[in-house]
Amino acid sequence: MRCDIISIFPEYLEPLKLSLPGQAQRKGLLDVAVHDLRDFSHDRHRTVDDTPYGGGAGMVMKPQPWWEALEHVRTLGDGTPTLIVPGPGGEVLTQRLARELADEDWLIFACGRYEGIDERVYEAAADVMPVRVISLGDYVLNGGEVAVLAMIEAAARLLPGFMGNAESLVEESHEDGLLEYPVYTKPATWQGREVPPVLLSGDHGKVAAWRHQQRLERTAARRPDLLHASSALTPGGVDDRWGGARIAKATPADVGDLLTCTHACWLREGILNDTLTIPAQHETVESLTASLHEWDTYVLRHDGRFIGSVRGKLVDDTWHIGRLMVVPDLHGRGLGGALLEFIQEVAPSDATRFELFTGTGSEHNLKLYKKAGFRGVVQPNGTTVVFTKRRRGR
Ligand SMILES: C[S@@+](CC[C@H](N)C(=O)[O-])C[C@H]1O[C@@H](n2cnc3c(N)ncnc32)[C@H](O)[C@@H]1O
C-alpha cells in the first residue's frame, strides 16, 4: 500500500517510521512519503492560508498550493489514488473503515489546518479521484496529522503479513462488533489478585465460553450502542415466546448474519427442489441491505447469536411473508412456526390476507404452512406452491 501525506508539518508524521508501521515499510508492505504543502506556494513567506470569504474567525487554506501539491503527488504512483481528507465532519473511523482503507493500493492524505481547506479543492479532486472525508471522532483537533497517524496505523496493521499473529486480529475489539475480553499474563497471583480460574483450567471450550460472555458483558456495560438492536431489547420487549431469545426489526448491522443464514437455508431448498435459480441464493450484502427498506425484516437472536428471521411486505391488501429461516442446528424446536405466527401478528392493519410460497419439494415447509392454516395452490410451472390465508376477523 502506498500512502502520500501532504501537510504543513511533515515532522508530525515522523512516528510512522517507528514500531509496526516502520517495520511494515522496511518489509515493503507499506510505502509512506510525506510532502510539505509549503513547497507548493509561490511567495517568499510560503503562504498557504488566507482570510475567509464572508468573514468569520480563523484562516482558510488556499486552493492553489493544495491543487499543485495534489497534481504533483498524483504523478508519483500507478493507477488512481483515493484522497482522504481528515475532518470532524466526515464519516467516523471504525474498524470496518480501516479495513476498507487497507484494501486500497494508494491513498493520498490531505492534512488540513486552520479552519480547513477551500471547498473547491474537494470538488476539483472529486473530478479526478475518489474523495473521502474521515473523522477521528466527534471532537475538534488542530490539524489532520494526528488523524492520519491513527488511520494509517489502523489500516496498516490489517495488511496481509503485517501482524505476526493473524489470530490476534480476529479476536480483537470491534472485529465482530464486540469489545475484547479481559486479558491476563503471569504471575497467576499479583498483589493478592487472582487470574480467573477458568483461564488456568486448560479446558479450551470453557475458556472460549467465558471469553464470549465477558465480551458480551463488557460491550453491554461500556458500549451498549454496539450491541445489535435485538439483543438490547428487554426480555419480552416484543414477545417472550422465544424463551431467552429476542426478536427485533433488522438493521444494516444484521445483514452479514442474514446473508449467511439465507445462503445456508436456500442451498438446502435448492437441493430439495433441484434448482439454483431461487433469488435467495443470489442475494448479496448490497441487495439484502437494500431489501431492509422494502421489507419489514425481523431478526431473532439468542445471547447475541443470530438464530432466525422472517420478513413481510404489504402490497395492496396482501401481507407477503418470506425468508422464514432458522439456523440449521435449531430446527425442530418450533421456532419456524413461532416466527410464522409472529409475522402474521405484526402485519399492518390494512392487510386482509397473507401470502407466501415455497418449492414443491420443500416438504417441511409445506407441512408447516398447512398446519398454520394456509391453503396451497401448485403453480402452472409445477415447481412452486403459493399459499394464502385470510386474516382472521377481516
Ligand atoms: C481546527 S480544525 C477545522 C475545523 C473546522 N472548522 C470544522 O469545524 O469542521 C483543522 C483541521 O483539523 C483536522 N481535524 C479536526 N478535527 C478532526 C477530527 N475529529 N477528525 C479528523 N480530522 C480533524 C482537519 O484536518 C481540519 O481541517
Ligand 1 touching residue 132 (CB < 6 A): no
CB of residue 147 inside a 6 A radius of ligand 1: yes
**What is the pLDDT, as a whole number, of residue 237?**
38
Residue 171 is predicted with a pLDDT of 64
| Residue 139 marked in a binding site | yes
Mean pLDDT for 281-302 is 94
- Confidence label for 227 from pLDDT (cuts 50, 70 and 90): low
* Res. 160: pLDDT tops 90: no
Q: Give percent above pLDDT 70 in the chain.
A: 92
Residue 1: Cβ within 10 Å count:
20
pLDDT bin (cut points 50, 70, 90) of residue 388 is very high
Residue nearest to atom 23 of ligand 1 (CA): 87
Pocket test for ligand 1, best of 101, 109, 115, 140 (most atoms within 8 A of CB): 140
115 φ, ψ (degrees, to nearest 5): -90, 10
115 pocket-lining for ligand 1 (C-beta < 6 Å): yes
CATH architecture of 246-390: 3-Layer(aba) Sandwich (3.40)
Residue-level pLDDT at 243: 67
What is residue 235's predicted lDDT score, i.e. its pLDDT?
32
Nearest atom in ligand 1 to the alpha carbon of residue 85 is: 25
Q: What is the pLDDT of residue 226?
A: 72
pLDDT of residue 330: 84
pLDDT(240) > 60: no
pLDDT score of 166: 57
For the segment 168-189, the average pLDDT, to the nearest whole number, is: 80
Better-predicted residue by pLDDT, 223 or 280: 280
Cβ atoms of 311 and 298 within 8 Å: the answer is yes
Supply the pTM of this predicted model: 0.62
Ligand 1 centre from 225 Cα, in Å? 25
At residue 242, the pLDDT reads 66
Contact 135 CB / ligand 1 (< 6 Å): yes
Helix (H) or strand (E) holding 307: strand 305-315
pLDDT exceeds 50 at position 168: yes
Given a cut of 90, whether residue 78 has pLDDT beyond it is yes
Q: Quote the percentage of the chain above a pLDDT of 90.
A: 70
Over residues 146-163, mean pLDDT: 90
Residue 303's pLDDT is: 75
The model's confidence at residue 230, banded by pLDDT at 50, 70 and 90, is very low
* Amino acid, single-letter form, for residue 350: D
| Three-state secondary structure readout of 61-107 | ECHHHHHHHHHHHCCCCCCCCEEEEEEEEEEECCHHHHHHHHCCCEE
Does ligand 1 come within 6 angstroms of the Cβ of 88?
yes
- The answer, yes or no, to whether residue 345 has pLDDT greater than 60, is yes
CA of 88 to the centre of ligand 1 (A): 5
Nearest ligand 1 atom to the CA of 147 is 21
Whole-number average pLDDT of the chain = 90
- Please state the rounded mean pLDDT for residues 241-260: 85
- List, for residues 183-216, the tens digit of each pLDDT value: 999 999 999 999 999 999 999 888 888 888 888 8
* pLDDT tens digits, 7-42: 999 999 999 998 878 888 888 999 999 999 999 999
Note the CATH architecture for domain 2-166: 3-Layer(aba) Sandwich (3.40)
| C-alpha to C-alpha distance for 11 and 3, rounded to whole angstroms | 16
The C-alpha cell 405466527 sits at 341
Q: Is 136 annotated as ligand-binding? A: yes
Q: 29 labelled as ligand-binding?
A: no
Is the CB of residue 322 below 6 angstroms from any atom belonging to ligand 1? no
pLDDT above 50 for 65: yes
d(CA 362, ligand 1 centre) in Å: 57
Give residue 209's pLDDT: 82
Domain ranges of the chain: 2-166, 176-227, 246-390
pLDDT of residue 59: 97
| Three cell numbers written together for 289 | 441491505
If you search the block for the grid coordinates 488523524, which residue do you land on? 147
Strands, sheet with 131-135, edge to edge from the N-terminal-most edge strand: 31-36, 2-7, 106-110, 82-92, 131-135
Q: How confident is the model at residue 306 (pLDDT cuts 50, 70, 90)?
A: very high
Establish whether residue 87 lines the binding site of ligand 1, counting it when its CB lies within 6 angstroms of any ligand atom: yes
What pLDDT, in 10s, does the model give residues 354-386? 999 999 999 999 999 999 999 999 999 999 999
What is the fold, at CATH topology level, of the domain defined by 176-227? Trp Operon Repressor; Chain A (1.10.1270)
